[in-house]
């Protein structure tokens, strides 16, 4: 089976590195095209990717075609690859906001489509990815895509209607966590810690708390209560965050992302 990437940006690059590191995908089965020849060359040297001359060239060589360009570029890319798209191809899209029906309606044949929503943690092979199949895709197609994206992290199969929620919680919220880590680090600097040490402490605390929550049968609030001694320092900080609207701000931010995602799909 051959795999072709149209678009070799940050996300595609992370996936390609994961594929290469997994040892499950032979170098001579992976193709790619990007408007920047230099970016293509660097990825080819790093991962064994075989460069292609155009989106059409990539589509012609590939059994599984991964569309990794920005959503607004799809209107130009899909007509260009149409001559090579048959019902024997599997189209995989990682573009935000574009449902499977968008791709299915672009071609005169019933093309299997799997929609994928990975996150940027694919760079360190710790992504959280959602997948769903279109009208013509089978469970076998879904498993092909699952195997591909498990090289960069965990994969969840969801109904397409839940993709906006996943996009917010599994994708965009990573930016919130980076913001939170920076806020913790800055607070540490204010309290007298060196910046690098404060950031390392913040990162390790976030990692450890996430692992504890993931592996514990207890609810996150129960775990929080275990840290909050009566009349202690931690509960003082928790009440300050609640008073300043911490939870409300998170909920409103998630709702804003979901609404934006739905607008992109219109």
What proportion of the chain, given as a percentage, has pLDDT over 90?
81
C-alpha dihedral over 223, 229, 231, 234, to 10 degrees? Answer: -60
How many angstroms separate the most distant Cα atoms in the chain?
70
Residue pair 135/101 in contact (Cβ under 8 Å)? The answer is yes
Q: What local confidence, expressed as pLDDT, does residue 23 receive?
A: 86
Q: Is residue 27 pLDDT above 80, yes or no?
A: no
What is the per-residue pLDDT across 129-172, written as a single tens digit (0 to 9) for each?
999 999 999 999 999 999 999 999 999 999 999 999 998 999 89
Q: Is residue 264 pLDDT above 80, yes or no?
A: no
The span from the CA of 206 to the CA of 189, in Å, is 17
pTM above threshold 0.95: no
The span from the CA of 259 to the CA of 104, in Å, is 24
């Amino acid at each position: 089976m051959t795999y072709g990437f149209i678009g070799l940006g940050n996300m595609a690059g992370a996936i390609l590195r994961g594929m290469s590191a997994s040892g499950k995908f032979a170098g001579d089965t992976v193709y790619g095209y990007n408007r920047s020849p230099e970016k293509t060359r660097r990825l080819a040297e790093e991962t064994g990717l075989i460069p292609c001359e155009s989106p059409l060239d990539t589509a012609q060589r590939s059994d599984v075609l991964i569309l990794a360009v920005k959503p607004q570029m799809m209107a130009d890319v899909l007509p260009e690859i149409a001559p090579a798209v048959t019902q024997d191809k599997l189209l995989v899209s990682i573009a935000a906001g574009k449902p499977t029906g968008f791709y299915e309606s672009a071609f005169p044949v019933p093309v299997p489509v799997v929609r994928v929503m990975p996150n940027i943690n694919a760079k360190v092979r710790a992504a959280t990815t959602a997948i769903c199949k279109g009208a013509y895709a089978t469970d076998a197609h879904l498993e092909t895509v699952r195997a591909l994206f498990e090289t960069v992290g965990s994969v969840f199969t969801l109904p397409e209607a839940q993709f906006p929620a996943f996009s917010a919680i599994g994708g965009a919220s990573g930016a919130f966590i980076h913001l939170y880590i920076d806020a913790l680090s800055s607070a540490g600097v204010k309290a007298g810690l060196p910046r690098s040490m404060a950031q390392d402490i913040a990162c390790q605390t976030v990692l450890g708390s996430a692992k504890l929550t993931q592996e514990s049968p207890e609810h996150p609030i129960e775990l929080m209560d275990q840290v909050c001694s009566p009349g202690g320092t931690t509960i003082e900080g928790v009440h300050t965050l609640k008073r300043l609207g911490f939870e409300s701000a998170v909920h409103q931010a998630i709702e804003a992302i979901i609404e934006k995602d739905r607008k992109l799909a219109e």
